[in-house]
A and B are shown apart, each in its own frame.
Chain A
Amino acid sequence: MNAIVTLSGVTKRYTRGKQTVEVLHGIDLEIAQGDFVALMGPSGSGKTTLLNLIGGLDQPSTGSVAVAGERIDTLSGSKLAKWRARHIGFVFQFYNLMPMLTAQRNVELPLLLTSLSAAQRKKNAEAALAVVGLADRSKHKPNELSGGQAQRVAIARALVADPTLLVCDEPTGDLDRNTADEILHLLQTLNREHGKTIVMVTHDPKAAEFASHQMHLDKGLLVGTTVAA
């Protein structure tokens, strides 16, 4: 397997006051390039914590995290920020769009961290919006979009800088079934037709069915992996 994500012996502990809580206990996992993985588990199982470690938003207490061959658990805060800009596209449950910016400006945000010209940024943002089927909504602000449209804009923002990995945290958690299915179909298309590697946290078994692999977490341990039929 050509692993793009490799975790070895990863633990994560949080300290609250005098209490230390271990959320992840020695996780070992590999995710292959071009895979679409659904991380599943009950609340408090540590799936979002694990996703944050893979996405470089947090660092493990022990163990190593490597993405695209690079150890990210040893990077400083500023280097990790640059690394995220280059390698990770995030999709959040509540879209996390900037309310004062148009869809196109929102999508352009990651490109501000590149050396692209303003004209090229605009062009790429329009192309990303076209991929998610929202070319005609580029001038709309988030409050003028439906939930599904807003999440498509968020996906376009995650895609626009052509990241190594798409990291999605409950991307359909705020959507109705039909809209959720549309978003999941879009993610599946990005995975199958554009070769994007996707790691998605969900507690929805129907959403997980769109993934090629399902990894199950329980009480901070990886308890099993299933392959889609």
Chain B
Amino acid sequence: MFKQTSAVVAMNLRAVPQRLGASSVIVVGIAGVVAVLVSVLAMATGFNQTVAKAGSPDRAIVLRGGSQAEINSGMGRDSVQTVLDSPGIRKDADGKPIGTGDMVTIVNLPKISDGSDSNVTLRGTGAKFTRLRPELRIVQGRMFEPAVRELIVGEAALKQFKGVTVGSRLNFRESDWTIVGVFSTGGDNHESELIGDVDTVQSAFRRTGFSSITVLLESPDSFEAFKDHLTTDPTLTVDAKREPEYYAEQSKQITTLLNFMAYFVGGIMAIGATFGALNTMYSAVSARGIEIATLRAIGFGAMPVVISIFVEALLLSLLGGIIGAALAWVFFNGNAVSTLGSNFSQVVFQLTVSPALVISGIVLACVIGSLGGLFPAIRAARLPIATALRAT
């Protein structure tokens, strides 16, 4: 059986160059499906990874009760102090809680790619910011000074927006700001932001409230005590979340949309590719009807014939899948793009063609190939030999 099968498979594959045009329909069709699917899913993966990186299990974020994002949250200075006095927050060497009240607003900056205006998050933050976020590193220039209109810019924002290089001056609300440094936070969504001193930002934007309070917990297990304290304090109307939970919620909507797009568009293309594969394999079976009938007349079983056609479709699809995934990787992996995030501002992220995505794409290709090969294979095996031989 194995000898028969391998002989028929080898014969089929040797005949592929004679049917190059028809065979390439399968390869090109499936390569297109996989390239589109992997590319769109690479967006979702990249966005997810960017947003998820910002979350640390030993940090918690506090927003006004019912607020979905920092941009539509607002709390007074007294609330910030009450939150920072809660139990479960790690203390600094000077005995002060490690946490900041941040004010988040949106400013307009032109994109490098097309010059169009985009919303960019401007975050005013407190003195404990660097203790709270040890992952933040200044990679160029220096840290902003308090009480001075200075900003640092994230690496991702630097690559996407004009006029934010070190030394540049920006004008917001009739006040000039100087970019004094570039920071990295390891690729999370804060890298799409401009950050400055919270009091100075509040003053410039004539605001007194805070959008969020982020604290460093004594340990991830301290969260419940911290949250319980906040929810039982009658002077506070706030929601507390672990950072990973918060950022997962922030990314959910966009990820769901991107996944829907990927699977909807990819699904329609996959159906088309399956019919393409079916058509090609039916043509191949029809073109080789005499050969198949002759082999069966000689004594080859129906199963080797089925397997050989199935294997041919599968190998062509596998090739298409590999080409599609490779195209997605070559053209899109690592490409920085931006989309509107939860704060109505741009989140810059990199398309990420992960190994899991490549495998998913190739598996999809094989499924399409299997469906496209199965029915023609069964038809070839079921056709009566005498009838097939008469088709000469």
Contacts and interface: CB of A to CB of B under 8 A. Distances in A.
Interface of A: 48-49, 52, 55, 57-58, 77-78, 81-82, 84-86, 90, 92-94, 96, 98-101, 109-110, 112-113, 157, 169
Contacts of A109: 7, 295, 298
A199 B1 CA distance: 30
Contact of B300 (A81, A93, A94, A157): A81
Given A92-B294, A96-B290, A101-B11, A112 B4 contact: yes
A77 B389 CA distance: 17
B385 interface: yes
A52 B11 CA distance: 26
A64 B266 CA distance: 56
User: Chain B at the A interface: mostly helix, strand, loop or mixed?
Assistant: helix
Interface in B33-55: none
B9 to A, nearest CB: 12
B298 A90 contact: yes
A124 to B, nearest CB: 15
A85 B298 CA distance: 6
B294 A81 contact: no
Given A96-B294, A112-B4, A78 B301 contact: yes
B18 interface: yes
Contact of A112 (B3, B297, B392): B3
B15 A100 contact: yes
B374 to A, nearest CB: 19
Contacts of A55: 297
Interface of B: 3-4, 7, 11, 14-15, 18, 290-291, 294-302, 384-386, 389-390, 392
A52 B294 CA distance: 13
Nearest to A85: B299
Contacts of B390: 48
Given A58-B384, A112-B7, A100 B299 contact: no
19 contacts: A57-B297, A57-B386, A57-B389, A58-B384, A78-B301, A78-B302, A81-B300, A82-B299, A84-B299, A90-B294, A92-B389, A96-B392, A98-B11, A99-B18, A99-B291, A100-B14, A101-B11, A157-B298, A169-B389
Contacts of B7: 109, 112
A90 B389 CA distance: 12
A188 B254 CA distance: 80
A57 B385 contact: yes
A93 B392 contact: yes
A169 B389 CA distance: 11
B6 to A, nearest CB: 9
A84 B298 contact: yes
Nearest to A174: B392
Given A99-B15, A100-B14, A112-B7, A84 B297 contact: yes
A98 B4 CA distance: 15
Contacts of A85: 298-300
A99 B16 CA distance: 12
Nearest to B384: A58
Contacts of B385: 57-58
A112 B301 CA distance: 12
Nearest to B7: A112
Given A48-B390, A90-B297, 7 more contacts: A57-B297, A57-B385, A57-B386, A81-B299, A81-B300, A109-B298, A112-B4
A178 to B, nearest CB: 23
Counting chain B CB atoms within 10 Å of each CB, which of A84, A94, A109 scores highest? A109
Nearest to A112: B7
Contacts of B290: 94, 96
